[in-house]
Amino acid sequence: MSLDAPNLLRMLHSTRFAEGLPHIELTSLARAARVVEVGSGTVLFREGQVEDAVFVVFSGHVRLSMKVPGRGEVTLLTAGPGDLVGWSGLISDGVMTATATVMDSARLIALSGRALQQLCESDPKLGYVLMKRMAQVISRRLLSTRLQLLDLFADAAELEAKAKQGAVR
């Protein structure tokens, strides 16, 4: 879907990802962006494959999963409006560490990882602003992951296991 520049900029500006970013840097980012509309079930990228695009979810939801032998595709996380998925294209070598599947029809802002890298190289200020924001995003994702890892609702599961053994009631 093609959008004129001001509309794309406005869309990007409205996302939580872009909250507080300086206007000049945001405009530069918008130049490397385009909008994609995808239907439910579409695979944005696959674990293990190289993917250039980094996606900011504008509307809709995206499921991230990893393949575990013997368990199949295991869903890790749901990303929603304002979330970033596929940052490997910008941060590392572009090899995706999860598979992203659209859950309900989604509108995404796709940014080219390579283009962003080149922008950052030539514009250190933009590079700093973008990397700082990426660090915050990843930090928030890490906290969420840790909270999942802590298994804070474990008591309920333990009770269920005990119930199955007939120890309860």
Partner 1 sequence: MRDEQTTYWLPRAALDRLIRMLAQDGYEVVGPTIDQSAIVYGSIESVADLPVGWTDRQAPGEYRLEERGDDRMFGFVVGPHSWKKYLFPADELVASAGRAGDSWQFTTPDFVPRKYAFLGVRACELAAIGVQDRVFLGGPYVDPLYRARRDAVLLIAVNCTQAAATCFCTSMNTGPRCERGFDLALTELDEGFTVECGSDRGKDILGRLTADGVPTVADMDQLQAAESARAQAVTQITRRMDTDGLRELLLGNLESPRWDSIAERCLSCTNCTMVCPTCFCSTVTEVEELTQVDRRRHWDSCFNIDFSRVNGNPSRNSIAGRYRQWLTHKLATWHDQFGTSGCVGCGRCITWCPPGIDLTEEVAELRTISRLRNSADHVSESEDSLEGIQ
Partner 2 sequence: MTGDGGVSCTTPPADPWRQHAARIRRVIQELPGVATYELVPESGVGSNAGSGLWPFRAGQFNMLYLPGIGESAISISGNPDQIDVIPHTVRQAGNVTNSLAKLREGDVLGLRGPFGSSWPIERCAGHDVVLVAGGIGLAPLRPAIYHLLANRVGYGELTLIVGSREPRLLLYPGEYDSWRAAGLNVITTVDRADDGWKGSVGVVTAVLDRLWIRDPVRTLVFTCGPEVMMWYVMRTAASRGVPADALYLSLERNMNCAVAFCGHCQFGPYFLCREGPVLSFERVRHLLRVENL
Q: Shortest Cβ distance from residue 28 to partner 2 (Å)?
A: 24
DSSP-based three-state secondary structure for 49: coil
Whether 76 and 64 have beta carbons less than 8 Å apart is answered as: yes
Stretch touching partner 2 by CB under 8 A, among 26-34, 91-99, 115-123, 138-146: 138-146
Q: What is each CA distance from 164 to 71, 133, 151, 156, 157, in whole angstroms?
A: 22, 47, 20, 12, 11
Taking CB under 8 A as the rule, does residue 83 contact partner 2?
yes
Binding segment toward partner 2, per CB under 8 A, in 28-36, 91-99, 115-123, 140-148: 140-148
Query: Residue with structure tokens 């030539």?
Result: 122
How many Å is the maximal CA-CA distance in the chain? 68
The closest of 17, 52, 51, 9 to 132, measured between CA atoms, is: 17
- Among partner 1, partner 2, none, the one that 52 touches (CB under a kind-dependent 5 to 8 A) is none
95-124 positions binding partner 1, by CB under 8 A: none
CB 24 within 8 A of CB 60: no
129, 22 Cβ separation under 8 angstroms: yes
Residue 63 interaction partner, one of partner 1, partner 2, none, beta carbon < 5-8 Å per kind? partner 2
Interface pick for partner 2 out of 51, 103, 112, 123 (rule CB under 8 A): 103
Closest CA to 52 of 12, 96, 18: 96
151 near partner 1 (CB under 8 A): no
| Nearest residue (CB) to partner 2, 50 versus 142 | 142
**Where are the strands (E) in 32-71, listed by range?**
33-38, 43-45, 53-68
Minimal distance, residue 140 CB to partner 1, in Å: 6
The answer to whether residue 13 forms part of the interface with partner 2 (CB under 8 A) is no
The contact set with partner 1 (CB under 8 A) reads 136, 139-140, 143, 155
Binding stretches for partner 2 (CB under 8 A): 16, 61, 63, 75-78, 80-83, 103, 140, 143-144, 147-148, 150-157, 159-160, 162-163, 168-169
